[in-house]
Amino acid sequence: HKSWQQLVQGNDAQLRFVTCHAGLQYAHAAIDLNGKSSAMLIAGQFYTQPQAQAERDIEIRTLAQKHSIDADALVEASHKLVVLDNRKTQEITRWLKKVALAFVQIGRERADLMGRLKQIADMSNLGS
């Protein structure tokens, strides 16, 4: 979908909030290994701004009809979504960055270990 394309376009590794086709927000952080974008960490299905509930219900019913989903159930589920205040959006930003950096570190350590194991295997073959 277009919102997912928007998410991965460009070389921006910064965390940002994006709105999907259903009107929900999510945040993401890129996971880069060896200078290449390898994965993306995504946290979502919340609002960053209060919604006009009556208008939002109409949008959700239209979306449900378009995708042959139970409209009442989808509207009910949408009422359970939280609106993040500024403090929560900052927390999500901070934690996503920390988790993404942890994955980067794990990837580096794995690559280093694989390199060492290859060196050991190569040395073992020299003695044969």
Q: What is the pLDDT of residues 95-105, one digit of tens each?
A: 998 999 999 99
The pairing of strands 36-46 and 25-33 is antiparallel
Q: What is the pLDDT of residues 59-105, one digit of tens each?
A: 999 999 999 999 999 999 999 999 999 999 889 989 998 999 999 99
Can you name the residues that pair with 19 across neighbouring β-strands? Answer: 25
Q: Over the Cα atoms of the chain, what is R_g?
A: 21
Question: Does pTM top 0.85 for this prediction?
Answer: no
The C-alpha atoms of residue 107 and residue 110 are separated, in whole angstroms, by 5
